[in-house]
Structure 1
Amino acid sequence: MNMLTDLKFDFNSKKPLYIRIADCFISNIANGNIKKNEQLPSINLFSKEYKVSRDTVEKAYKILKAKNLVITYKGKGTYIISTRLIQKHKVLFLFNRLNKYNLQMYYSFINNIGDQYHTDIDIYHCKESLFLNLIEKHIEKYDYYIIVLNIKIENPQQVSNSIESIKALKSIPQQKLIIIDNNELKIDGKIIQIFQDFENDTYYALKKGRENINKYKKLMLILPENSNYPYLLKITKGFKKFCIEQAINFEISSKPIEGVSINQGDLFIVIEDDDLVNLLDMTKASTLLLGIDVGIISFNDTPFKRLLGIAVISTNFTEMGETAASMIVNNKKGKRRNPFSFICRASV
């Protein structure tokens, strides 16, 4: 290979030119086109032939030196001293928010992905504008993009992600994309999708627990105050479907939990853990007995809920992380529905 005529740089890339030059050398070393003991062009000659600045070439050669691929002998030039490339695959985990459940999934992923992968985290706080900015910022920098897709929607009638969000996702090569918690993307081709089917999962989980649920007169679904998220709309649909089918009186509330009255025969289904804590305090302050006079079902299991005997509707976040790692390592594509269940405890 002639290093003065045959090196091809990606001029459409947003990476700095010196990184593209270094990447080009590394790729050709990995492919066997550039061999051990070969001499690199001098900085002046490379600069002249490829019409780039000396400073750019010098920075590129420094990257190769930092990776222990080349060595410069004073007065003799720069030579390839190693063709052994131990490069870790770079993974970006882009979270909607960093709560205990996402961390559980993340740690499970880290424990299963292996030492050949390096994983970074970023967070878009459920905001579309930040999501779009982060995709643009990180594009072409990673080998895999794991995205927990849960963006707040501004239009109450909107039940899926916006055109802008879909366009941003399509800018990521399909073989690099792993979507968590969304099963409705209109993206052609094979990507990895690991999802909860919130509507049907909620419906079937409640149906599984109906023997305990049927002793209550009224079901109360307590939504967060800011409930403009697609997954909450789907949970609501599954809840309503169950209640209508079972002919159970129900109510859906997104007002502050402190403004909700607790009456004998009520069963509360709570999404947010803060609302759960407040509801437990309110129940304790009343004369009503939990699991007898009133009931509580919470979303997503935790050791705290197991300890207190709180019934839950929950997916397995550990398994979600394991599945993502396994599909990446084994180069598998397609959709995987994550297990979802109703766990009956003393609170019902």
Structure 2
Amino acid sequence: MENFKDIISINDYSRVRKHKQIVNSVMSATTIGSLKLNDKLPSVNKLAVEYDISRDTVVKAYAFLKEHNIIDSVPGKGYYVKSVKNDLKAKVFLLIHKLSPSQKRNYDAFSSILTEFATIDLYIYQNDFAQFKKHILNSKSKDYTHYVMNTHFVDEDHDVVEDYDVVEDYDVVEDYDVVEDHDVVEDHDVDDDHDVVAFLKKEIQLEKLILLDKKMDQLGTIAGVYQDFEKDIFLALVELNPLSKKYNTIKLVFPKNSCLPNEIKTGFLNFCTKYGYESSIIEDTDNEKMKKHTVYINLEEEDLVSLIKQIKSNDFVIGKDIGIISYNDTPLKEVLVDGITVISTDFDKLGEHAANMVLKNEREQISNPFNVIVRKSL
């Protein structure tokens, strides 16, 4: 095969493992007809040399393709295309903001369902709108059947309101409804999402789009698996309220220039107002003057260790003097200080729901489950 570089594409900067990139390239080529029945593939050695990768990487890729009856080999003649009638149903462009432990769970659940039925190209945009746009623009020549993505961006111009202690004219609902016109309910993410919406409408066929995490109503009824950030934190705190009653203050650690949705603040303040807790929203705990009977809700992984150190340096007992609630579970949180109480969307379900939409070519809007795991930190 003289033109195999037109068929097999390997990106050194992709998060997708190189053997999987080879698999995806071959499977995609057999689907669109670039590779035909009995076409010869480059040898293991040739592919390894041309792309400066290990032989083991190529062997692993070819072994997977053989196992799925897409290619075969003849001693002395090499590898060839055995079948172009594979079960591929989709070619997926997957774009997420970062590969954190929680997003890794999402990806693993998503890919485990689609491995034999789709090629998946994973891209990371690091919460940066420019990178987000670049990846999408570069994808347009690759004939993707589905675009699966979330939209979490850091807004460098975002000014965090300093004092949330007093909530004026805030209507507390009996059960839970969305509260409109609240002082802090502003979506600062990339010019109120206007730029994102305009860009997606221009550059992507919306019937191919599946959104993760955040709904974007400005796009219309777009398929997606979403978190109801405002309602989820409210109901989670209601569930934890019997344990929280021994505290009188709850503080939300919401980092400056965070990509986290402001709806989290709204749900938090709604709960504290309704249930009579003193509350505030802080950027970090570095200079925090900690007092007993306070609960801290930690959102970002990197802030949790700092929070624990700060509590211990004040000789407070976690789960007695100071409570901790953390977003998104990890194995470490099961054992850290005898267990951290967590509230979290179900990232496995999020990935599974999105994968099934691709597999069945469905266009639903699914509210993802949100879980509470009680441990000793509260």
TM-score, length-normalised on structure 2? 0.67
What residue in structure 2 maps to residue 177 of structure 1?
209
**In structure 2, C-alpha distance between the alignment counterparts of 1:323 and 1:65, rounded to whole Å:** 31
**In structure 2, C-alpha distance between the alignment counterparts of 1:119 and 1:134, rounded to whole Å:** 14
Correspondence list, 1:186-225, <5 A: 186-188=218-220, 191-225=222-256
Unaligned runs of 5+ in 2: 1-5, 7-28, 41-80, 160-185
What residue in structure 1 maps to residue 282 of structure 2?
253
**In structure 1, C-alpha distance between the alignment counterparts of 2:104 and 2:372, rounded to whole Å:** 22
C-alpha deviation, 1:276, in angstroms? 0.9
C-alpha deviation, 1:67, in angstroms? 3.0
**In structure 1, C-alpha distance between the alignment counterparts of 2:33 and 2:347, rounded to whole Å:** 40
Counting aligned pairs with the same residue, the percent is 30
Q: 2:262 is paired with a residue of what secondary structure? A: helix
Q: 1:169 is paired with a residue of what secondary structure? A: helix
Q: 1:112 is paired with a residue of what secondary structure? A: helix
**In structure 1, C-alpha distance between the alignment counterparts of 2:124 and 2:323, rounded to whole Å:** 35
**In structure 2, C-alpha distance between the alignment counterparts of 1:290 and 1:107, rounded to whole Å:** 33
Q: 1:257 is paired with a residue of what secondary structure? A: coil
**In structure 2, C-alpha distance between the alignment counterparts of 1:244 and 1:111, rounded to whole Å:** 43
**In structure 2, C-alpha distance between the alignment counterparts of 1:159 and 1:225, rounded to whole Å:** 12
Give the counterpart letter for 2:287 in structure 1. G
**In structure 1, C-alpha distance between the alignment counterparts of 2:274 and 2:34, rounded to whole Å:** 69
Deviations 1:35-78 (A, max 9, x none): xxxxxxxxxxxxxxxxxxxxxxxxx9xx967433779xxxxxxx
- Confirm or deny: 8 A CA contact 2:285 2:306 kept in the other structure: yes
- Confirm or deny: 8 A CA contact 1:145 1:178 kept in the other structure: yes
What residue in structure 1 maps to residue 169 of structure 2?
none
Q: 1:264 is paired with a residue of what secondary structure? A: coil
Runs of 4+ in 1 over 6 A off after TM superposition: none
Tell me: CA distance 1:66–1:283, structure 2 relative to 1, closer, same or farther (3 Å).
same
C-alpha deviation, 1:97, in angstroms? 1.4
**In structure 2, C-alpha distance between the alignment counterparts of 1:64 and 1:326, rounded to whole Å:** 26
Give the counterpart letter for 1:259 in structure 2. N
Choose which of 290, 298, 301 in structure 2 pairs with 1:270: 298
**In structure 1, C-alpha distance between the alignment counterparts of 2:100 and 2:371, rounded to whole Å:** 20
**In structure 1, C-alpha distance between the alignment counterparts of 2:310 and 2:83, rounded to whole Å:** 67
- Confirm or deny: 8 A CA contact 2:110 2:352 kept in the other structure: yes
What residue in structure 2 maps to residue 105 of structure 1?
106
Count of aligned residue pairs for this structure pair: 275
Deviations 1:168-194 (A, max 9, x none): 222322332110011133223x53210
**In structure 1, C-alpha distance between the alignment counterparts of 2:334 and 2:355, rounded to whole Å:** 27
What residue in structure 1 maps to residue 270 of structure 2?
241
TM-score, length-normalised on structure 1? 0.73
CA RMSD, 1 decimal:
2.5
Deviations 1:227-269 (A, max 9, x none): 3x3x431111110010111111111101x42211221111111
**In structure 1, C-alpha distance between the alignment counterparts of 2:273 and 2:106, rounded to whole Å:** 34
What residue in structure 2 maps to residue 281 of structure 1?
309
Q: 2:121 is paired with a residue of what secondary structure? A: strand
Tell me: CA distance 1:84–1:248, structure 2 relative to 1, closer, same or farther (3 Å).
closer
Give the counterpart letter for 1:306 in structure 2. E
Give the counterpart letter for 2:118 in structure 1. Y
Structure with the greater alpha carbon radius of gyration: 1
